[in-house]
């Protein structure tokens, strides 16, 4: 019987009681001090850091959801990628670098691959119905914008606000991060957030002695 099993038996045995000095005793017999190892385990720095990154990523998604939006209309979509899903996104970024002739996609892909997680935040393209009172999109009204295949001006506005709100959470938790257009483009190519999403950014997250996202070649 190991110590953990012995502790569990003590917890459920009527022959034992707990005294004021945190000692477990058999009635009439002192069996000495036994620590509850199940409750006080060692958490490694790697596990603590990974747990913090994931908790931060979840809080970032919530921050994006609650961020202010034009007319209060919510078209934000979020996702968190880790492990093989994160690496698949990095692989797609590498392929896009060659297809688009944008070498910095390779650099960003390396950052994503070496990160613990990445948050993807996107926005569906939907009009807000402000019509002639707005015209920020450059069209006469919302109908004309959609018929011409245009993008509602508030799609980018709301996405920017959501991303800003999300990265503020990362900053508050001291988790290294960087906003990447390249990762958002790759996420859209992989349909991670759905076909309706027309704009997206990726935010890789990491906890290390020095940020991955500076001194980049």
- Band of the pLDDT at 8, cuts 50, 70, 90? very low
Domain positions in the chain:
1-41, 45-206
27, pLDDT greater than 90:
no
Tens digit of pLDDT for each residue in 96-149?
Answer: 999 999 999 999 999 999 999 999 999 999 999 999 999 999 999 999 999 999
Q: What DSSP designation does 70 have?
A: G
**pLDDT on residue 40:** 55
Distances from the Cα of 28 to the Cα of 35, 104, 170, angstroms: 20, 74, 55
- Contact indicator for 49, 35 with CB cutoff of 8 Å: no
**pLDDT on residue 63:** 98
What residues form DSSP beta bridges with 18?
Answer: 24
What residues form DSSP beta bridges with 177?
Answer: 205
**pLDDT on residue 39:** 54
Tens digit of pLDDT for each residue in 178-196?
Answer: 999 999 999 999 999 999 9
Average pLDDT over residues 15-35: 45
**pLDDT on residue 45:** 93
Say which residue, 57 or 33, is predicted with more confidence: 57
**What's the fold here for domain 45-206?**
NADH Oxidase (3.40.109)
Tens digit of pLDDT for each residue in 35-56?
Answer: 444 455 788 999 999 999 999 9
Tens digit of pLDDT for each residue in 153-180?
Answer: 999 999 999 999 999 999 999 999 999 9
**pLDDT on residue 215:** 80
**pLDDT on residue 19:** 44
Query: From the CA atom positions of the chain, what is the Rg in Å?
Result: 26
CA 57 to CA 160: how far, in whole Å? 17
CA 22 to CA 35: how far, in whole Å? 9
Average pLDDT over residues 4-25: 44
């Amino acid at each position: 019987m190991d110590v953990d099993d012995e502790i569990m038996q003590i917890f459920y045995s009527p022959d034992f009681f707990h005294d004021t000095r945190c000692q477990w005793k058999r009635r009439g017999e002192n069996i000495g001090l036994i620590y509850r190892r199940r409750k006080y385990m060692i958490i490694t720095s790697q596990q603590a850091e990974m747990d913090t990154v994931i908790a931060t990523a979840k809080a970032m998604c919530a921050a994006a959801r609650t961020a202010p939006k034009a007319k209060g209309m919510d078209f934000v979509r979020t996702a968190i990628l880790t492990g093989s899903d994160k690496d698949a996104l990095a692989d797609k970024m590498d392929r896009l670098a060659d297809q688009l002739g944008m070498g910095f996609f390779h650099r960003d892909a390396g950052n994503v691959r070496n990160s613990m997680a990445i948050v993807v935040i996107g926005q569906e393209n939907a009009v807000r119905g402000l019509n002639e009172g707005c015209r920020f999109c450059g069209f006469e009204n919302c109908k004309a914008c959609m018929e011409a295949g245009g993008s509602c001006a508030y799609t980018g506005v709301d996405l920017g606000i959501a991303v800003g709100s999300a990265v503020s959470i990362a900053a508050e938790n001291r988790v290294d991060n960087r906003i990447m257009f390249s990762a958002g483009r790759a996420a859209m190519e992989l349909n991670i957030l759905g076909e309706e999403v027309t704009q997206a950014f990726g935010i890789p997250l990491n906890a290390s002695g020095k940020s991955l996202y500076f001194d980049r070649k």
